[in-house]
Amino acid sequence: MNESLTPPAVTLDEIAKAAGVSSSTVSRILNGTAKVSRAKQQAVEAVIEKFNYRPNVLARSLASGKTETVGVLTQTVASPFYAEWLRGIEDSLHEPGLTPFFMSCRWNVAEEKSRIEQFIARRVDGIIVLHGQLDEASLASFARQTPIVVLGRSLNNVPGLAGLPIDNVQGARDMTRYLIAQGHRKIAFIAGPTTHIDAVQRLLGYRLALEEAGIRFSSQRIEQGDFLEAGGVDAMARLLARKAAFTAIFCANDQTAYGARLTLYRHGLRVPEDVSLVGFDDVPTSQYSTPPLTTIRQPIYELGRQAAAAIVRLIRKEPVTLTPVSLDLIERETVSAPRLPSRSPVPVT
């Protein structure tokens, strides 16, 4: 190819020389740190333009001791859910002049820890963790080096560490109550991974609502999913295979609901005419699924903004008080009154 690649970048010193001023003057012009005569100002700016000079961020950070960045740790990047969070974070970090630094750890605790260490090694000003399975002690320990905000978890009040919990129990309870109010009493539930706190809480909310309505909780109507479409497909198939009786299905998240929906379709069961189906999360595509999915809406984008605002306050050493976010039920088109009360739908195949 060509050997003239990546010529040594122009430095501040070279600009200073070319403009006939000291390097401090150039630095001052760059940062507006102090008054500089208009003459020199313009001379320097001309040279900068000519050489197409861009300050080296690394050197700048090393000297100033601040990086103006915040590390954002996601579990996965391949999820509509996380994408919305990131958008909120990015938007909200833009105004305070902070640059987000995204990394993902694929639901792997060891990697989660290693990523956080990488962030710290990069001297980020703060860290936002989305979900996260790291134990609270470790988090608190890391937080002594850099402020951390954890989205989706409730955390004890430690300096430099804040958790923004999401009230999954309330959301799941509301949804279950809603189904009951529509006349359903046999409500199946496709759960998420038992290792996932959100999944556990949603199952709990479902159970609580049943009990308060005097409906017996039956493990016969519970199936295990994995928060992904594939898990929904399989769980739904198992539910049908064992001829569980239900008139509605509550899925632990929207992706699970999509999977369940496909299996129902394969069995010739219509939604919502034959069976009602609901999800949880309200990912962006849920309003466009066919039919549009009734679900519990997490204000994902807004949560991202809140997390960003919180980390900014933490960085500025201002107090933060995060209140649990409540979730709203979004009524769309996958629920109707039970077709045949107290009779299970008959699988076609």
Cβ atoms 336, 179 nearer than 8 A: no
Residue 341 sits in the site that holds its own copies (CB under 8 A): no
Q: Which of 22, 50, 135, 265 binds its own copies (CB under 8 A)?
A: 265
Residue 5 sits in the site that holds its own copies (CB under 8 A): yes
Residue placing its CB nearer to its own copies in the complex, 40 or 87: 87
Min CB(125)–DNA separation in Å: 14
Residue placing its CB nearer to DNA in the complex, 37 or 194: 37
Q: Which of 59, 337, 340, 346 binds its own copies (CB under 8 A)?
A: 59
Instruction: State whether residue 317 is helix, strand or coil.
Output: coil
Residue placing its CB nearer to DNA in the complex, 42 or 76: 42
Cβ atoms 150, 314 nearer than 8 A: no
Q: Which of 1, 2, 5, 35 binds DNA (CB under 7 A)?
A: 35
Residue 46 sits in the site that holds DNA (CB under 7 A): no
Q: Which of 34, 46, 78, 337 binds its own copies (CB under 8 A)?
A: 78
Helix axes 109-121, 136-143, angle to 10 degrees: 0
Residue 23 sits in the site that holds its own copies (CB under 8 A): no
Instruction: State whether residue 324 is helix, strand or coil.
Output: coil
Contacts of 6 (CB under 8 A, 6+ apart): none
Which one of DNA, its own copies, none interacts with residue 201, CB within 5 to 8 A by kind? none
Range in contact with DNA (rule: CB under 7 A) among 21-29, 128-136, 178-186, 235-243 = 21-29
CA–CA gap between residue 343 and residue 243 (Å, rounded): 11
**Residue that is written with structure tokens 């000079």 in the block:** 53
Q: What dihedral angle (degrees, nearest 10) is formed by the CA atoms of 222, 153, 327, 178?
A: 20
Token digits of residue 191: 């759960």
Q: How far is CA 66 from the centre of its chain?
A: 26
Residue 96 sits in the site that holds its own copies (CB under 8 A): no
User: Which regions of the chain does DSSP assign to beta strands (E)?
Assistant: 69-74, 99-104, 126-130, 148-151, 161-164, 187-191, 222-224, 248-251, 276-278, 295-297, 328-330
Q: How far is CA 220 from the centre of its chain?
A: 32
Site mask, its own copies, residues 128-157, x = CB under 8 A? Answer: ----------------xxxx----------
Q: How many residues bind DNA (CB under 7 A)?
A: 31
Q: Which of 35, 38, 58, 219 binds its own copies (CB under 8 A)?
A: 58
Q: Which of residues 160-189 bind its own copies (CB under 8 A)?
A: 160
Q: What are the Cα distances from residue 129, in Å, to 168, 221, 274?
A: 18, 34, 41
Q: Which residues of the chain form contacts with DNA (CB under 7 A)?
A: 8-9, 11-13, 20-25, 27-28, 30-31, 33-37, 39-41, 55-56, 59-60, 62-65
